[in-house]
Amino acid sequence: MKIDKQMLIGLHLGNGYGSQSGAWRFPGVDPKSYTSFDARVKQAQAAERGKFQFLFLPDGPGAVMADIDTDAPAFNLDVMLTLAAVARETKYIGLVATGSTTFNEPFNLARQFKALDVMSHGRAGWNAITSSGEDVAANYGRKIPSSADRYGRAHEVVQLIQALWGSWGKDAWVHNQQSGQFAKKDQIAPINLQGKFVSSSGPLYIPPSEQGQPIIFHAGGSPNAHRLAGRFANVVIGSAFTIEDAKDQRNTFKRAAESFGRDPDEIKYIPGLMTTIAKDRRAALDRRIRLSGDFLLQRIGYLQQMLGVPLNALRFNEPISKSLLDIARPSYYDPRSANALKIAREGWSIRDILAHGVIDYHPVIVGPGIEAANHMQEWFETGAADGFCISPDVNADGIGAFVDEVVPILQERKLFHQDYEGKTLREHLGAPNQYGLTHEFKI
């Protein structure tokens, strides 16, 4: 079956512990693995065993973590060093890292990502996003620019980087020891591009990889994000809590691509999915309760707002009364509320409702692998997603649980490939060939 008829699966790697804040304290987890590149390699190898198409490393350059007293930072030590380590110990899985267009110089980003692409033999991807936090800006001694300036700069940065990636001609590298010619000088040319926000003379001194140059990803959902992704991205990492919302987002990005003269099918929409895979729902809930500690009790106030009814903390281990459920209404302001009310009406205790992950930042599957497979199939077949970016609760065993319990079901249903059909990320994604800037530089 062709890859464009099957779903894509990525692994959200984050800080390496897992998606739950208590993952670093979970039994069997090395609490020092935050600084272990060997641990990241093992996690990547587990995902590659499951034939995942890519790893996705978020980054928030130097963001301050206010809860550092009890929680690990949300991000890796350094995304590029992490993926360089992973590149040497894997063969197929794509390597995608976030790089801010707001606080990085284009030449540096171009060099880092193309070097990773060459090192990994064509498996690199760049998640091109802007930065929006003042805490991040403060680390660079600056203020966050206006939205217009941030995205204006982003459009220039992506174009400039693509031009730099193509400044070393496809056939320029000769490396002929007999003749003494290393490269064809006339095929390695400066780009000399000047925009309103950034500029570079070039060229970049790195030859093409097996896929030519890295793949552009984007993560965001604002109108500005639609334009940036529609113009440049092949993959969007999204966040949606209902099939309807996911369909709307996916169609919006496709329309944005079309508005820039692109084939809308070039853009793949991949929302996040958080997983706790266990033998049954009760075992999975107990696992999440153990992971969360007292944190669930702290969330009871927000659950009240989601359902529109008062909740008693003294009845934390009891179901919500029928009289309250009869008048409960999902909050208009939080798209997760409808699911929270659905779970509540199934008769679970308040603790268990929260343990279902109803306030987490992506939809959560809590239960056996078939429940995750069913969710993914429904979203995929109804046109709500082209794939999923998986965030296990605890990476140490959660990646393996997904690979062993979910992937075989998807493969049996012919929804996911049996093996890698190529070696490059571009092949994994079915992305079109591109080398350099394919259109005239435009501010």
* Residues 6 or more apart whose Cβ sits within 8 Å of residue 89: 41, 44, 45
**What average pLDDT does range 127-141 have in this prediction?**
90
How big is the chain, counted in residues?
Answer: 443
Beta strands in 220-256 (DSSP E): 235-238
Q: Which of 141-145, 397-401, 412-416 has the lowest mean pLDDT?
A: 141-145
**What average pLDDT does range 242-268 have in this prediction?**
97
Amino acid 2: pLDDT: 40
Q: Give tens-digit pLDDT for 222-239.
A: 999 999 999 999 999 999
Amino acid 394: pLDDT: 98
Query: Torsion over CA of 367, 373, 378 and 381, rounded to 10 degrees?
Result: 170
Amino acid 439: pLDDT: 81
Give exposure, 132-147, as e/b (b: 16+ Cβ within 10 Å).
beeebbeeeeeebbee
Amino acid 135: pLDDT: 84
Confidence of residue 318 (pLDDT cuts 50, 70, 90): very high
**Could you tell me what percent of the chain has a pLDDT over 90?**
90
- Using CA atoms, how far apart are residues 72 and 50, in angstroms rounded to an integer? 27
Amino acid 440: pLDDT: 81
Q: Give tens-digit pLDDT for 160-212.
A: 999 999 999 999 999 999 999 999 999 999 999 999 999 999 999 999 999 99
Q: Which of 4-8, 177-181, 367-371 has the lowest mean pLDDT?
A: 4-8
CB 310 within 8 A of CB 319: no
**What average pLDDT does range 123-142 have in this prediction?**
92
Q: In the Cβ-directed half-sphere of 327, how many Cα atoms lie within 13 Å?
A: 8
Q: Give tens-digit pLDDT for 417-437.
A: 999 999 999 999 999 999 999
**What average pLDDT does range 19-32 have in this prediction?**
95
**What average pLDDT does range 297-308 have in this prediction?**
96
- How many of the other CB atoms lie within 10 Å of CB of 375? 18
Q: Give tens-digit pLDDT for 322-353.
A: 999 999 999 999 999 999 999 999 999 999 99
**At residue 127, does pLDDT exceed 60?**
yes
- Using CA atoms, how far apart are residues 42 and 44, in angstroms rounded to an integer? 5
**At residue 1, does pLDDT exceed 60?**
no
- Using CA atoms, how far apart are residues 330 and 132, in angstroms rounded to an integer? 30
**Could you tell me what percent of the chain has a pLDDT over 70?**
98
Q: Which of 70-74, 80-84, 217-221 has the lowest mean pLDDT?
A: 70-74
Give SS3 for 129: strand
Q: Give tens-digit pLDDT for 44-67.
A: 999 999 999 999 999 987 665 668
Q: Global pTM?
A: 0.96
**At residue 3, does pLDDT exceed 60?**
no
- Using CA atoms, how far apart are residues 376 and 366, in angstroms rounded to an integer? 13
**At residue 218, does pLDDT exceed 80?**
yes
